[in-house]
Structure 1
Amino acid sequence: MLFNSVTFLLFYLAVFAGYYLLPQKSRWLLLLVSSYGFYMAWNPYYIILILISTIIDYTVALRLEETEDAVKRKRLLQVSLTANLGLLFFFKYFNFFSKSTFGLLSYLGFTLKAPVVDVLLPVGISFYTFQTLSYTIDVYRRELKAERHFGRFALFVTFFPQLVAGPIERASNLLPQLQKFDVPLTYQRFASGLTQSVYGLFKKVVVADNLAVYVDAVYNHPASHNSATALLATYFFAFQIYCDFSGYSDIAIGTAKMLGFDFNDNFQTPYFSSSVTEFWRRWHISLSSWLRDYLYIPLGGNRHGEFNTYRNLMLTMLLGGLWHGASWSFVLWGALNGFYLSMEKLVNYHQWVTRSTLHRIFGAFITFHCICLTWVYFRADSFAKANTVVGKLLHFQGVVPEVQDLNVFLTSLLAVFILLVLDFFVFRKTSFDQFSKALKDWQLALFMAILFLLTVLFGVADGSVFIYFQF
């Protein structure tokens, strides 16, 4: 059930109406049943995996809160980690590690057939696994009280706006909001949530899906295109993935807001960052902060010397790459980001880039192109295709990009221009929530109407899947 589909619109309208018609004490049950139904629309059998994770982490957290013995508490945490990461490994990584291991053995002269499992990747498993793990770890650290109402905890794990592609909400933010369900539906909350949802839809179907037409044509057959075309496709993909994923986040945040729930921001105009370090503070914030708090800092962070700091950065980004996908392309993508972050620390880049506005502008230019290089390996289907694109970029031949469909091309350019104007003049300085509160009612309504009109006129209406659904 895609956010950019009529099916989801009808589903959401039914949930929205039922939610505000029901008494407050019954609303959690409607949201829980709706969330389970939403997920089962993808594959009804995989709801069993969510139930397993929910039951294990609910039980483990209660035992953690009741137990004082340090050894028992550590074993309980290991139960949660083993169960959740075990399921994630089996469905997402088993084939990757099996083929890689047996490929190496074959290279060494052993003729063995790699065992593989023929299973579909459950939608959203990377997201809800990290969300429920962070809850258990927080209870283990005694930073959070265990939730005793099983239904509310199950809703925390499965709340449909952010179930399949985030944001990865922390229990400390979302669980308290799942206690009373008494936030009133005001005009400002409704208008702000609806406008952010429409803005997310604009990003997805107008910007991302139009850019995808050009990007797919080039990256599917990179050897057939000249260097200028490869460069433009790489730029286009940078904006495609940004609008595809931040568009999903905007719809998730907006739809939740209209139901009375406030999610944390997931993107803050990342392409205006003047360093890769700053980029990762503004890109997929819920994941980057998760990796920081539950991986980088526990590894030691920057507390034990320069070598260990660089090692921890590389390990964190390598695992962040693997989180995105089970392939060596994603590992290299993570390695490149880890290398950038390490080099910035090594040369004290932050001190240089903050000297003046001119330094920041130049830093943003360099950062954007460094990130674009990583996107080549993120987007390409294989190392061979990625290296072909990189080869085109390094050995520049052909200064005029090829254009297959002029209408789609011009629409893409216009959409990116509108996006950059909004990001630079509005959202670079403020969040969407603050922006909507600063506008008068008629101004917010006009802004939403313009976005909706642009979406209807220029949107791609084939209901394409969001990129991050594959993770």
Structure 2
Amino acid sequence: YFKYGDFIQENFAELVQLLGWNYQAKDLGIILPMGISFYTFQTLSYTIDLYKRKIKPARTFLDFALYVTFFPQLVAGPIVRSEELIRIHLPDNFRYPYGANGFSEFWQKWHISLSSWLRDYLYIPLGGNRKGFTRTQVNLMLTMLIGGLWHGASWTFVIWGFLHGLYLGIERLLKYTLKDKTKIFPSFIGVIITYLAVNVAWVFFRADDFSSATSLFQSMFGFGEGN
């Protein structure tokens, strides 16, 4: 509600207007709580791990609250699971992602706590890569779309997630069809392609709307005003 209330209402209003009805979305005046994206995923993982009996329940509500609201990682991450926090050791979250040779490798190096959370609590429960090639592609795309929405309530974040789902799908398709399934391109070419494609997706991540994204692309390629 806090993060997506206005987003859902605005899109509902646009849909209703397309059907010919007069409906205007109202600003709900929602104040976004600090760190809501992180502690939402952390409480979800805690609940799921309890259900699967991977961890024991916190002894007191205070213990649980301290886990959820641990300030040093609340604002910018990483997403820490309850079994990891007892030692107060925060895991590495970025490992030179822009040196990745391929998009699978990029997601192993970029925002590691998020990518591993999406893998363990979304991608694998959806079936992972165990249900055949087509189902794997669908699972990848759904995971990336939700990963995009996690970052913010905007269609630009959805497009960012879609692009990464597309990148991963194309990479998997190439590996599926080629005999050498380890590397699609020589390392230096793979790094360049990955870096450029990731930065194309960053445009949508950074832009407030599609108009802003278009302006950014025009400026990047020399078609903006003053070029």
TM over 0.5, yes or no? yes
**1:123 to 2:34 alignment:** yes
What is aligned with 1:346?
173
**Matched residue count:** 224
Q: CA deviation at 1:108?
A: 2.5
1:295 to 97, 100, 122: 122
Q: CA deviation at 1:174?
A: 1.1
Q: CA deviation at 1:165?
A: 2.0
5 Å matches for 1:6-405? 90-175=1-86, 177=87, 261-348=88-175, 351=180, 354=183, 359-394=186-221, 396=222
Letter in 1 for 2:37: S
* Counterparts of 1:300 and 1:286, CA distance in 2: 20
Misfit runs of 4+, over 6 Å: none
Which is greater in Rg? 1
Q: Give deviations 1:409-467, integer Å, cap 9, x for gaps.
A: xxxxxxxxxxxxxxxxxxxxxxxxxxxxxxxxxxxxxxxxxxxxxxxxxxxxxxxxxxx
* Counterparts of 1:293 and 1:151, CA distance in 2: 27
Q: Does 1 or 2 have the higher relative contact order (CA < 8 Å, sep 6+)?
A: 1
* Counterparts of 1:284 and 1:94, CA distance in 2: 26
- Contact 2:145–2:165 (Cα < 8 Å) also in 1: yes
Q: CA deviation at 1:262?
A: 1.2
Letter in 2 for 1:354: K
Q: Give deviations 1:43-80, integer Å, cap 9, x for gaps.
A: xxxxxxxxxxxxxxxxxxxxxxxxxxxxxxxxxxxxxx
* Counterparts of 1:283 and 1:312, CA distance in 2: 20
Structure 1 stretches of 5 or more lacking a match? 1-89, 178-260, 403-471
Q: CA deviation at 1:114?
A: 2.2
- Contact 2:137–2:169 (Cα < 8 Å) also in 1: yes
5 Å matches for 1:423-462? none
Letter in 1 for 2:81: R
RMSD of Structure 2 on Structure 1 (CA)? 2.1
* Counterparts of 1:353 and 1:389, CA distance in 2: 35
- Contact 1:353–1:363 (Cα < 8 Å) also in 2: no
Q: CA deviation at 1:115?
A: 4.2
TM-score of the aligned structures, taking structure 1 as reference length: 0.45
Which of the two has greater helix per residue? 1
- Contact 1:274–1:353 (Cα < 8 Å) also in 2: no
TM-score of the aligned structures, taking structure 2 as reference length: 0.92
* Counterparts of 1:284 and 1:154, CA distance in 2: 24
* Counterparts of 2:43 and 2:123, CA distance in 1: 18
* Counterparts of 1:359 and 1:352, CA distance in 2: 13
